Amino acid sequence: MINNILIFVFCLFIFSCSMETVNKFVENNNKKPKIEEPQQNTPSENSNNEINSKDKLTNIDVINVIEVVLPSKSENNYIADSFVNSLEIAVYDLQNESLSFNVRRYSSDQELNKIFFDNSRSGKIFIGPLTTSDTKIVKKYCNKNILIFSFASDRGLANDCVFLFNFFIEDDLDAIFSYLNEKNKIALLYPNNKYGNYVNSIIDDYSKKYESTLIYKIPYNEDLSDIRTIIKQLGRYDFRKKELERQISLLESKKDEISLASLKKLKRFETIGELDFTHLIISDGNIRILELAPLLPFYDIDPNRIKFVGTGLWDEKSFFDEPSLQGAIFPGTELNKRIEFEKKYMDLFLLPPPRTSTIIYDVSSLINYLTITYENFNQINAFLKGNNRFVGLDGRFSIENNLIKRELSILKIQDGKAEPIM
């Protein structure tokens, strides 16, 4: 099913909420991108949609009709629908009458293949697909001299014509460990699922890079069926509680004033003894955090003594009012640039946008900048390889080795807000 989004507006601004001019989209725009001459003849299309090696990339014009390829009937339907909504806002804000977007929905691998087979011609730009598996399917069309801005999570797909835009845990860990220091002792609590296990597989690299001390890496069931047991083990709750009971018993046998004062003090405690870590990284999100976090102080892992640390999954306003998360930190960006977008989204669609909905807005804005600034396909490719910096709804980012790399701050949760502390 094909939905055409052809919105024609003024061509003055690229980001209505964060940019004054098109040029401000690129922070180092005054620096000319290095354009390398092609080393060999590069193919263009013939009548059979094959490549003709006699044509050069420098002769390929950019096609200003962008194909937006998203699933229609799948588990990603909610996200896909929110992307279409975000695209509508982006196209309106872009105000570029020369650029149009075709939204093409698919419900099978065959339909996905057909979309790319029918529309892949030199100078064509695609937004999507959403998933790693679908991106693997369409990557073979890179020989058609196209660009694919995918939202896949597998960073290994970022090469050739495929550029990946997502929220990557690598950026989160880099920000977290650069903020911590060698004196901090860190524990990792992670769900036994794809996301949590991936964090577990790479966190040692960042600990070594920043010479941090990673003491524990402890998984829990995704359904939280074992979470109480895991938290008690993490905080040595039973041992510390028994030690408290032992000391209380000793003091109760004494009658001097000092012992009685100590006894009175100890009876206010749940446990006794220090924990052997200073920071607890919890690589999880969604409703599980709101269920898990209150159990930590309940089993005497005190947030006033142990700093709770989240990932980018914590960038949800519903977390900011949770009492057990006050003072916790996580990597992210200031909300200022997103606030106006989220308000527009709510006003138009009567639903809060999912956290990922800003990604396609920023991708659309980037493409807008590229098509306004360059007519030559090779110039666009060279520019995308030039480590230029941009400012989007989710803050500053660059593109390195076909991957978006975000510049993240460390945010602190306090009184219903998350504000940067660095």
Q: pLDDT digits over 56-90, tens only? A: 555 788 888 999 999 986 655 888 999 999 999 99
Task: Kindly report the average pLDDT of the chain as a whole number.
Answer: 81
Please tell me the predicted confidence (pLDDT) of residue 272: 52
Cα separation, 341 vs 89, in Å, equals 8
Return the closest-CA partner of residue 167 out of 384, 400, 401, 355: 355
Whether 305 has a pLDDT exceeding 70, the answer reads yes
CA angle 112, 115, 117 (to 5 degrees): 105
Whether 55 has a pLDDT exceeding 70, the answer reads no
Residues β-bridged to residue 264: none
Sign of CA dihedral 297, 300, 304, 305: negative
406 contacts 397 by C-beta, under 8 angstroms: yes
Tell which CATH architecture fits domain 2-166+356-386. 3-Layer(aba) Sandwich (3.40)
Q: Predicted confidence band at 191 (pLDDT cuts at 50, 70, 90)?
A: very high
Token representation of residue 123: 């100078």
Q: Which residue has the higher pLDDT, 181 or 268?
A: 181
Please tell me the predicted confidence (pLDDT) of residue 268: 59
Please tell me the predicted confidence (pLDDT) of residue 381: 85
Backbone phi, psi, residue 70, to 5°: -135, 150
Please tell me the predicted confidence (pLDDT) of residue 257: 67
Please tell me the predicted confidence (pLDDT) of residue 52: 40
Please tell me the predicted confidence (pLDDT) of residue 285: 87
| Residue 295, amino acid | L
Q: Predicted confidence band at 192 (pLDDT cuts at 50, 70, 90)?
A: very high
Whether 254 has a pLDDT exceeding 60, the answer reads yes
Whether 308 has a pLDDT exceeding 90, the answer reads yes
Whether 35 has a pLDDT exceeding 50, the answer reads no
Q: Domain-by-domain residue ranges, the chain?
A: 2-166+356-386, 170-333+412-420
Please tell me the predicted confidence (pLDDT) of residue 166: 93
Q: Which fold has domain 170-333+412-420?
A: Rossmann fold (3.40.50)
Return the closest-CA partner of residue 105 out of 74, 149, 135, 143: 74
Task: Name 356's Cβ contacts closer than 8 Å, sequence gap at least 6.
Answer: 79, 82, 83, 151, 166, 167
412 contacts 320 by C-beta, under 8 angstroms: no
Please tell me the predicted confidence (pLDDT) of residue 27: 45
Average pLDDT value for residue range 326-346:
87
Cis preceding linkage at 129, omega within 30: yes
Alpha carbon of residue 16 to chain centroid: 22
Q: Which residue has the higher pLDDT, 8 or 318?
A: 318
Whether 271 has a pLDDT exceeding 80, the answer reads no
Task: Name 404's Cβ contacts closer than 8 Å, sequence gap at least 6.
Answer: 163, 164, 165, 166, 168, 397, 398
Q: Predicted confidence band at 238 (pLDDT cuts at 50, 70, 90)?
A: confident
Cα separation, 135 vs 129, in Å, equals 6
Return the closest-CA partner of residue 370 out of 51, 74, 64, 112: 64
Please tell me the predicted confidence (pLDDT) of residue 53: 36
Whether 266 has a pLDDT exceeding 60, the answer reads no
Please tell me the predicted confidence (pLDDT) of residue 57: 52
Q: pLDDT tens for residues 98-120?
A: 889 999 999 999 999 999 999 99
Q: Which residue has the higher pLDDT, 325 or 235?
A: 325
Task: Name 26's Cβ contacts closer than 8 Å, sequence gap at least 6.
Answer: 369, 388, 389, 390
- DSSP at 13: -
Q: How far is CA 249 from CA 173, 239, 244, 258, 267, in A?
A: 45, 15, 9, 15, 11
Average pLDDT value for residue range 24-43:
32
Q: Predicted confidence band at 264 (pLDDT cuts at 50, 70, 90)?
A: low
0.75 exceeded by the pTM? yes
Please tell me the predicted confidence (pLDDT) of residue 8: 33
205 contacts 158 by C-beta, under 8 angstroms: no
pLDDT > 90: what percent of the chain? 50
N residues, the chain: 422
Q: Which residue has the higher pLDDT, 260 or 271?
A: 260
Maximal C-alpha separation, the chain: 100
Please tell me the predicted confidence (pLDDT) of residue 259: 59
The domains spanning 2-166+356-386 and 170-333+412-420 adopt the same CATH topology: yes
Whether 33 has a pLDDT exceeding 50, the answer reads no
